[in-house]
């Protein structure tokens, strides 16, 4: 089942609208610090790792295949598998319980690295295992969501915290929920990764797809092209393939490559 676009090992330039450039540049600087501390200092460099990616519909349709193509072109010996469950996240374990699935993935596939793209479907109340709900915009919601992120990091990194985890955060789209909860979820995931003792790094997809007021951007710029490119698909929620490649897949692969040895000629 370990079942394309070269990615340089240097700095990845995320194309954004000018009005959001400063905000995203600040985010990129924070991301670089997180990567330096949590990824470069702790990850074991492997020559032919197994990378497993989990997420929702974007992972299943566009992000997973984009990561696979980029990874194979840069590190042909790396193996890649994905599981994208549409509408899934950490808010509704009654619908799909990712923390329960991760140990099963590890037993079956024995991955060396994880890429996770969750959060966009979590702009809602949190369902507890006893059937009760925790409303958003409350301290209880923040604590419970942080606990679920922390649990995922611990499970994916494993005993001894040896597996690299690259977490691609939620993206923005129109609505009060995304505008308020999107940056909150991104902040929670970033903080949990910064506190985490193992090899983990955060890709801030919300900052890359929103302006400095947390409203969704509709276009992005590709270096060398004069006109901005449309970012969103017809539903206004999902991103087009070019945006997924530039704003989500390329930064994720950039961090994976730091922990994968170059193939010898």
Instruction: Read off the CATH number of the domain in which 73 is found.
Output: 3.40.50.1110
Distance between CA atoms of residues 249 and 14, nearest Å: 11
Count structural domains, the chain: 1
Domain range holding 224?
A: 34-84+95-257
Q: Is residue 12 part of a domain?
A: no
What is the DSSP track for 147-197?
HHHHHHHHHHHTTTT-SEEEEE-----SSHHHHHHHHHHHHHHHHHHHH-S
Report the predicted TM-score, pTM, of the whole model to 2 decimal places: 0.85
Nearest-angstrom CA–CA distance, 146 and 187 = 10
Residue 5 domain flag: no
Rounded CA-CA distance 37/261 in Å is: 19
Tokens representing 150? 């922390």
How confident is the prediction along the chain (265 residues), in pLDDT tens digits per residue?
Answer: 444 333 332 322 333 333 333 334 444 443 433 434 444 446 778 999 999 999 999 999 999 999 999 999 999 999 999 999 999 999 999 999 999 999 999 999 999 999 999 999 999 999 999 999 999 999 999 999 999 999 999 999 999 899 999 999 999 999 999 999 999 999 999 999 999 988 999 999 999 999 999 999 999 988 778 889 999 999 999 999 999 999 999 999 999 999 999 877 6
Residue 238 backbone phi and psi in degrees, to 5:
-75, 155
């Amino acid at each position: 089942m370990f079942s394309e676009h070269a990615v340089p090992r240097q700095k990845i330039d995320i194309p954004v609208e000018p009005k959001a450039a400063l905000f995203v540049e600040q985010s990129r600087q924070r991301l670089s610090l997180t990567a330096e501390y949590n990824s470069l200092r702790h990850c074991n460099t492997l020559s032919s790792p197994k990378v497993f990616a989990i997420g929702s519909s974007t992972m299943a349709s566009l992000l997973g295949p984009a990561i696979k193509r980029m990874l194979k072109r840069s590190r042909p010996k790396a193996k890649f598998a994905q599981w994208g469950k549409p509408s899934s996240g950490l808010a509704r374990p009654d619908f799909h319980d990712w923390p329960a699935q991760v140990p099963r993935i590890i037993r079956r596939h024995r991955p060396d690295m994880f890429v996770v793209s969750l959060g966009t479907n979590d702009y809602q109340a949190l369902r507890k295992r006893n059937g009760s709900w925790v409303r958003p915009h409350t301290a209880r919601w923040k604590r419970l969501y942080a606990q679920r992120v922390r649990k995922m990091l611990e499970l994916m990194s494993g005993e001894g915290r040896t597996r690299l985890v690259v977490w691609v955060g939620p993206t923005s789209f129109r609505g009060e929920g995304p505008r308020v909860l999107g940056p909150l979820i991104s902040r929670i995931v970033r903080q949990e990764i910064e506190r985490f003792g193992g090899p983990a790094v955060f890709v801030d997809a919300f900052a890359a797809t929103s302006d400095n007021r947390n409203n969704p951007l509709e276009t992005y710029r590709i270096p060398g092209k004069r006109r901005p490119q449309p970012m969103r698909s017809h539903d206004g929620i999902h991103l087009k393939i070019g945006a997924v490649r530039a704003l989500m897949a390329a930064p994720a692969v950039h961090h994976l490559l730091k922990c994968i040895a170059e193939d010898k000629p």
